[in-house]
């Protein structure tokens, strides 16, 4: 969508994305720093984000689905890493086997039946093995790992052992140490060449969690992952101001009449809503304040509910002329913390980023722009 016709504008800073990766890569050495680019690179666009990360130095990538892997391979063909390994976290889809072969996609195998299907596929590439250490999600159970070890291991081509941390964003949670212990047991039993446990938050748990390869996701895209994490904003979301109107004490704003004006107010109506991925729960009411927006350096609180295509903000305290039709209000970015917006909506930055609407105008900023 063109900027002229869009109500939502996304500015995606590829230099910040690359900088976030380089910062993490420096932190985890001698472990390798991969890049997780699932969900269209967390909403930033895999076709742009993949090559930017490759240019920064990323040489291993993770996606969720084989179709995402194929899109990434196309994007990497003219990048600094055209043949980089691409691991498919959701595993092996037998009906899509040709897609794996054509694009050199490596499945992350999560149960014995899947390992059998992959082993039976002729012309296969390499693969990873996922062990469950406490998430009760994907992965071989402890008993299945022991059985696999007794049978001689997963076989030729499986070169990476992975698991996923459940509570690394809570450093003191006891499950972290237990998952580390369970992973060490599986690693000793299966004796695969490489191992990977740490996600974005796990990177900051220390060297014991990093093993050979770390898999940052949200930390690359500007979201908070751990109390010690540092990450520059990558996405700035802005909504077009459609109208500025007056409101009087005692009047209500928006659906449900859930917020009552407590003063004579100026109200800016912005062209964004939950259809764009700006979550309904971020709105405001008489009982609880909502998220903030920023107009020309001035913060303004939301008024009332978020509707499908519109939100309202209280711009009474913003100097005249700054909040005007045709101008843009930042929803999150350098002035409004995406994690703060997510907390108001009762969610996390992951959901905000990955839910951004396709009807937004996207513009990319690269180093030197």
Q: Are 51 and 232 in contact (CB under 8 A)?
A: no
Instruction: Give the C-alpha separation, 37 to 34, whole Å.
Output: 10
Instruction: Give the C-alpha separation, 205 to 169, whole Å.
Output: 9
Cα Rg of the chain, angstroms = 23
The token pair that represents 40 in the structure block: 């269209």
Q: How many CB atoms lie within 10 A of CB 301?
A: 17
Whether a cis peptide bond, with omega within 30° of 0, leads into 30 is yes
Q: Are 39 and 355 in contact (CB under 8 A)?
A: no
Which of 38, 87, 187, 350 is labelled catalytic? 38
Q: In 3-state terms, what secondary structure has residue 324?
A: coil
Task: Please say if 77 is a catalytic residue.
Answer: no
Chain length of the chain:
369
The DSSP bridge partners found for residue 55 are: none
Which of 87, 255, 262, 350 is labelled catalytic? 255
Task: Please say if 255 is a catalytic residue.
Answer: yes
Instruction: Please identify every residue annotated as catalytic.
Output: 38, 255
């Amino acid at each position: 969508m063109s900027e002229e016709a869009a109500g939502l504008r996304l500015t995606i800073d590829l230099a910040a994305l690359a900088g976030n990766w380089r910062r993490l890569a420096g932190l985890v050495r001698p472990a390798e720093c991969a890049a997780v680019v699932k969900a269209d690179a967390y909403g930033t666009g895999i076709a742009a984000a993949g090559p930017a990360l490759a240019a920064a130095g990323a040489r291993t990538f993770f996606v969720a689905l084989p179709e995402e892997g194929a899109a990434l391979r196309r994007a990497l063909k003219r990048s600094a890493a055209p043949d980089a390994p691409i691991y498919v976290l959701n595993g092996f889809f037998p009906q899509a086997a040709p897609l794996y072969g054509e694009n050199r996609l490596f499945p992350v195998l999560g149960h014995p039946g899947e390992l059998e299907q992959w082993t039976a596929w002729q012309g296969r590439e390499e693969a990873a093995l996922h062990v469950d250490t406490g998430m009760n999600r994907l992965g071989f159970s402890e008993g299945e790992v022991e059985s696999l070890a007794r049978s001689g291991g997963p076989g030729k081509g499986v070169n990476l052992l992975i698991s996923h941390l459940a509570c690394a964003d809570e450093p003191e949670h006891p499950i972290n140490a237990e998952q580390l212990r369970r992973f060490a047991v599986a690693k000793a039993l299966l004796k695969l060449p490489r191992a990977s446990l740490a996600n974005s938050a796990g990177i900051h748990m220390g060297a014991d969690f990093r093993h050979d390869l770390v898999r940052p996701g949200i930390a690359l895209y500007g979201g908070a992952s751990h109390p010690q994490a540092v990450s520059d904003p990558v996405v700035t979301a802005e909504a077009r101001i459609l109208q500025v109107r007056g409101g009087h004490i005692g009047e209500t704003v928006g659906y449900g009449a859930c917020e009552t004006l407590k003063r004579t107010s100026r109200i800016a109506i912005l062209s964004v809503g939950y259809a764009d991925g700006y979550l309904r729960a971020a709105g405001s009411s008489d009982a609880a304040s909502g998220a903030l927006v920023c107009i020309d350096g001035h913060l303004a609180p939301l008024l009332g509910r978020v509707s499908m295509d519109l939100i309202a903000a209280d711009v009474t305290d913003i100097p005249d002329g700054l909040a005007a039709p045709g101008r843009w209000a930042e929803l999150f970015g350098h002035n409004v913390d995406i994690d703060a917006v997510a907390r108001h909506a009762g969610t996390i930055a992951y959901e905000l980023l990955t839910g951004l609407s396709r009807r937004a105008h996207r513009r990319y900023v690269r180093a030197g722009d």
